């Protein structure tokens, strides 16, 4: 006998079960609207996410742009700290001079009336040495440094003492290379060197209102060649701030003749007078002469060279004849 299918028991009238089984029109209406509600809800969720993504993309692009600018600035020779350009590489200066108060450094040294600094300051000129003279002077440096050169980033050639960087040491090129030196340099080279020194000496005397005959060349006076090679010894660490009168007691007036061009021949390597608030920067230009009194009023340093090769010659003067040195002679 086939089993009979029982129907679902009827709920008593008035019971809650029947009410629960009865479709609720409001509930059905809500369920029918659910897809739209869900869609709206998802859109509301996605909207902040899309905004966040756009913001993140904008922030990333901004960071990349800033990093690119920073790297470009660094590759062109930028350095930390705020700087003001005292002499721009594109300028051709007949003369620019800034007077500053003298430090007390000179009081601890013997004074020479009419020469020892009473008027202190710093100057820049492109009108003393021609670019052709600078090119020829640079050739002297290149020939001498071809005999040696530092393992680090800074090489020195001193025609007065004969000091030449070789590896991690210095040698006397006149003794070390002997007669070979006369095959490297010519008498015309040394005469040009003396002529340039005299022009720089006269420019310093005129700027500070002293007699050129009261100034004496002093040591060290030397060529420098700087590149981006990592320093090997303390002699290669040229970038530290210093005071010439403290480092070299004989210095009263310091000058630098630049033999290569900032951003054309090298990046970095600018000369900086260190001051509170803003450093004063000189951008090297072949033939440009930068000069200044040697005391603490002119604390300075050179930026690290980032690429290329920077050539210059430091020419120092003293008021004390006991500290004077002679011009180099090819013997």
pLDDT in tens, 152-177: 999 999 999 999 999 999 999 999 99
Crossing angle (nearest 10°) for helices 131-145 and 187-208: 130
Tokens of 251: 């210095």
Tokens of 274: 């260190």
Q: For residue 257, which of 305, 227, 221 has the smallest C-alpha distance?
A: 221
- Cis (ω within 30 of 0) for the bond into 212? no
C-alpha triplet 274, 276, 278: angle, nearest 5°: 75
Longest alpha-carbon distance in the chain:
143
C-alpha triplet 74, 75, 80: angle, nearest 5°: 20
**CA–CA distance, 316 with 51 (Å, rounded to integer):** 64
Q: Kindly tell me if the per-residue pLDDT of 284 is higher than 50.
A: yes
Q: Kindly tell me if the per-residue pLDDT of 34 is higher than 90.
A: no
Active-site annotation, residues: 310
pLDDT number for residue 277: 86
- Global pTM reads 0.77
Banded model confidence at residue 54, pLDDT cuts 50, 70, 90: low
**CA–CA distance, 232 with 243 (Å, rounded to integer):** 23
- Residues 191 and 133: beta-carbon distance below 8 Å: no
Q: For residue 118, which of 133, 130, 106, 128 has the smallest C-alpha distance?
A: 106
Q: Kindly tell me if the per-residue pLDDT of 30 is higher than 50.
A: no
Please state, as a whole number, how many other Cβ atoms lie within 10 Å of the Cβ of residue 285.
Answer: 26
**CA–CA distance, 295 with 264 (Å, rounded to integer):** 32
- Residues 138 and 100: beta-carbon distance below 8 Å: no
**CA–CA distance, 263 with 68 (Å, rounded to integer):** 18
Q: What is the mean pLDDT of residues 223-228?
A: 98
Q: For residue 97, which of 121, 66, 68 has the smallest C-alpha distance?
A: 121
With H, G, I as helix, E, B as strand and everything else as coil, classify residue 49. Answer: helix
Q: Kindly tell me if the per-residue pLDDT of 13 is higher than 70.
A: no
Tokens of 227: 């590149």
Q: Kindly tell me if the per-residue pLDDT of 28 is higher than 80.
A: no
Q: What is the mean pLDDT of residues 125-140?
A: 98
């Amino acid at each position: 006998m086939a089993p009979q299918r029982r129907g679902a028991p009827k709920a008593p009238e008035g019971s809650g079960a029947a009410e629960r089984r009865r479709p609720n029109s409001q509930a059905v209406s809500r369920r029918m609207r659910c897809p739209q509600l869900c869609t709206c809800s998802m859109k509301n969720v996605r909207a902040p996410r899309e905004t966040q993504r756009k913001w993140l993309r904008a922030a990333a692009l901004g960071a990349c742009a800033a990093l690119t600018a920073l790297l470009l600035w660094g590759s062109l020779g930028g350095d930390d700290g705020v700087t003001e350009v005292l002499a721009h590489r594109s300028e051709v200066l007949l003369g620019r001079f800034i007077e500053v108060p003298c430090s007390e450094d000179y009081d601890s040294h013997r004074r020479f009336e009419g020469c020892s600094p009473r008027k202190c300051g710093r100057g820049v000129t492109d009108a003393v040495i021609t670019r052709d003279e600078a090119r020829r002077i640079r050739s002297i440096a290149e020939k001498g440094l071809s005999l040696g050169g530092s393992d680090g980033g800074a090489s020195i050639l001193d025609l007065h003492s004969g000091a030449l960087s070789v590896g991690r040491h210095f040698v006397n090129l006149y003794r070390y290379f002997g007669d070979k030196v006369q095959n490297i340099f010519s008498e015309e080279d040394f005469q040009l060197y003396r002529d340039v020194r005299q022009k720089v000496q006269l420019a310093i005397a005129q700027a500070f209102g002293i007699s050129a005959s009261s100034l004496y060349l002093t040591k060290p006076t030397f060529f420098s060649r700087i590149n981006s090679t990592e320093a090997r010894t303390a002699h290669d660490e040229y970038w530290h701030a210093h005071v010439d009168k403290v480092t070299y007691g004989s210095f009263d007036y310091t000058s630098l003749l630049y033999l290569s061009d900032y951003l054309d021949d090298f990046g970095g390597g600018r000369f900086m007078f260190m001051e509170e608030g803003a450093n004063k920067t000189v951008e090297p230009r072949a033939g440009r002469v930068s000069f200044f009194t040697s005391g603490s009023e002119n604390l300075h340093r050179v930026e690290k060279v980032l690429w290329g090769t920077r050539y210059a010659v430091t020419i120092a003067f003293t008021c004390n004849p006991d500290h004077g040195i002679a011009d180099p002679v090819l013997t």
